[in-house]
Amino acid sequence: MAVAIFMAACNSNPTQNTALDTKRSDEDSTFNICYSSIVKKDTVLLNAHMSGDSVTGSLGYKLYEKDQNNGSILGKMYGDTLRGMYTFMSEGKESVREVAFIKKDSLLVEGYGALEEKNGKTVFKDPQQLKFDGIVLAKAPCK
């Protein structure tokens, strides 16, 4: 099943939200979330399924004059912070990079920090030192 999710995420168009927004109340612990950032020629989309504190879905970056990355995210919510592993294809090669987003009201703000390679993955050296001043994604309707 993980392979199917990964393949679907890799083949998805980063300019479309494809999940259905199913959260009906604040008590729902299983629902879909969709966030997007479209600024000039840059687009970032996150379509994910929340189940308790677990997050699975697709994440795509289409940044002007840079390689487009589409892949899957597998993560967990730690309070208001989403941390996960982003598996994506870039330049014909599969890569895995740790990502983090903090929830601020109806926004998700990407976090950045020093990175290092561990076991073939790019991870944060010290997640406690992340700065959340990166790309800002707004809650978007799931389609």
How many other CB atoms sit within 10 Å of the CB of residue 41? Answer: 9
Extract the tokens encoding 43. 């687009």
Res 29: pLDDT = 64
Query: Which residues lie closer than 8 Å to 102 by C-beta, 6 or more apart?
Result: 80, 81, 82, 108, 109, 111, 132
Query: Around Cβ 96, how many Cβ atoms within 10 Å?
Result: 15
Judged against a pLDDT cut of 60, whether residue 23 lies above it is answered with no
> Residue 66 in 3-state DSSP?
coil
> Tens digits of per-residue pLDDT, 121-141?
999 999 999 999 999 999 998
What percent of the chain is modeled with pLDDT above 70?
Answer: 79
Structure tokens that stand for 2 in this block = 């993980």
All structural domains of the chain with their residue ranges:
2-139
* pLDDT tens, position by position, 78-115: 999 999 999 998 778 899 999 999 999 989 999 999 99
pLDDT at 68: 83
Output the pTM of the full model. 0.80
